[in-house]
Every structure is written in structure tokens, then in C-alpha cells.
């Protein structure tokens, strides 16, 4: 009976837990994933889990590949820092290899890191896009620029395709008094990184003055 028994098979369960983050700019209240744009810094790291528990890799050789080219290698190298490339428009393939980890077989994991363009959003807190006559405030929100503060952005506001000054509240704020002769208002916002002219974004929105208030203005 013993001779007929099948040999015991040992199941090797290992998985990578990979994370990455970037230092691209977002508004202070933003709680979503921060994505890199071209030339952003990336910090990537991982843990190897065996049976759902982290395992020590201090004596193991670890190789990192960026778009199939060796980026860095070393014993216990679980964290790296690199900069996204201007040549890659969509994103990077980041691969981790631990050579000969399991009975002479390599362990590897590949993740995709997307690269997106910077974005600007005009915050217009007016229901249904309807404005009241008088003074209205608009704030610009800026996402995924390679900056530390708004001082590094050149910000331009436009009202009905004409340049408009920013508010004394800040360059990111437009303080606009509605003209009584116009029912429709077009607000534009453009932003450019002062240190990189190729890093820019813009947005336009269309709004309307409440009809009754407009009629009473004449």
C-alpha cells in the first residue's frame, strides 16, 4: 500500500505586492491616485509575500527593469527611484525579477505605470451653469504638474476670449463682474510650467446669466 501512494507535493505560494507613488502636484484636498506626467519622479517598492506573509530578501539579488532595460540591481533592493521619460507618452512597464528564487526558477512581476498629461479644472460653483449679475468668483484647480507650488505656474484667465486679470486673492482665482449686455459668458484658463514650456494645460467652460436678472439690467 505504501508503494502505491503518490508522493507529497509541496505548493509554493508567493506573490508580489508592488506600490508606486509620484511627487506631481495636486490640490491639497485631492484624495485620488496621483499620476505622473513626463519627467516626474517615481518611487517604486515591493514586498514578496509567501503564504500571505512578507519574507526577507536581504540576501537575494533583485533586478529592476524599465521597459525591458535593466534599471538597477542589488541584494535586497526592494525600493528604487527613477524619472519618467519624455519619450514615453502612455506609460512605463516596470519589471521586478528575483533570479533562481524557487528551485532555480526566477520569480518576476510586471506593473504598468501610466503617464498622463497635466490638467486644469475651472471650479465654477454655480448650479446649472447660471450666474447672477454682479461679482462671481472662479478658482483654478491644477493637477499632475511637476511643481512644488502654484508660484511655478504661469496662469492666464480669459473672459469671452479676452485676457482677464486674476484676483487679488491669488493668480488661481478669477473675480469677474458680469457685463449687463451679454447673456452668455465663456471662461478660459491656461497654465504652463515656468520651468518646462512643454508642460501645459487649458480648459474652457460656458455659462449663462440668469435671464430674469439680465432682463432687469436693461
Alpha-carbon distance of 124 to 207, in angstroms, equals 9
Cβ-Cβ contacts under 8 Å for 210 (sequence gap 6 or more): 130, 131, 132, 133
Band (pLDDT 50/70/90 cuts) for residue 31 is very high
> 126-153, pLDDT tens digit by residue?
777 777 777 889 999 999 999 999 999 9
Give the number of residues written for the chain: 218
> 76-96, pLDDT tens digit by residue?
999 999 999 866 578 999 999
Least Cα distance to 51 among 10, 79, 19 occurs for 10
Range of lowest pLDDT (41-45, 53-57, 133-137, 144-148):
133-137
Alpha-carbon distance of 136 to 10, in angstroms, equals 69
The pTM score is 0.82
DSSP 144-212: SBS-SSGGGEEEEEEETTEEEPPBTTBTTEEEEEPPTT-SEEEEEEEEEETTEEEEEEEEEEEEEE-HH
Amino acid at each position: 500500500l505504501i508503494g502505491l501512494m503518490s508522493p507529497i507535493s509541496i505548493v509554493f505560494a508567493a506573490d508580489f505586492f508592488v506600490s508606486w507613488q509620484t511627487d506631481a502636484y495636486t490640490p491639497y484636498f485631492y484624495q485620488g491616485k496621483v499620476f505622473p506626467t513626463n519627467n516626474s519622479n517615481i518611487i517604486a517598492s515591493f514586498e514578496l509575500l509567501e503564504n500571505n506573509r512578507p519574507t526577507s530578501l536581504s540576501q537575494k539579488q533583485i533586478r529592476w527593469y524599465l521597459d525591458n532595460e535593466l534599471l538597477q540591481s542589488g541584494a535586497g533592493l526592494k525600493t528604487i527611484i527613477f524619472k519618467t521619460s519624455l519619450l514615453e507618452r502612455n506609460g512605463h512597464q516596470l519589471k521586478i525579477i528575483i533570479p533562481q528564487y524557487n528551485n532555480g526558477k526566477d520569480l518576476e512581476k510586471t506593473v504598468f505605470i501610466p503617464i498622463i498629461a497635466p490638467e486644469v479644472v475651472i471650479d465654477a460653483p454655480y448650479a446649472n451653469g447660471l450666474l447672477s449679475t454682479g461679482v462671481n468668483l472662479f478658482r483654478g484647480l491644477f493637477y499632475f504638474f511637476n511643481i512644488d507650488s502654484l508660484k511655478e505656474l504661469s496662469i492666464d484667465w480669459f473672459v469671452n476670449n479676452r485676457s482677464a486679470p486674476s484676483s487679488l486673492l491669488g493668480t488661481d482665482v478669477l473675480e469677474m463682474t458680469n457685463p449687463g449686455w451679454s447673456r452668455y459668458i465663456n471662461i478660459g484658463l491656461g497654465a504652463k510650467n515656468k520651468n518646462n514650456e512643454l508642460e501645459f494645460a487649458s480648459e474652457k467652460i460656458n455659462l449663462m446669466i440668469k435671464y430674469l436678472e439680465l432682463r432687469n439690467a436693461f
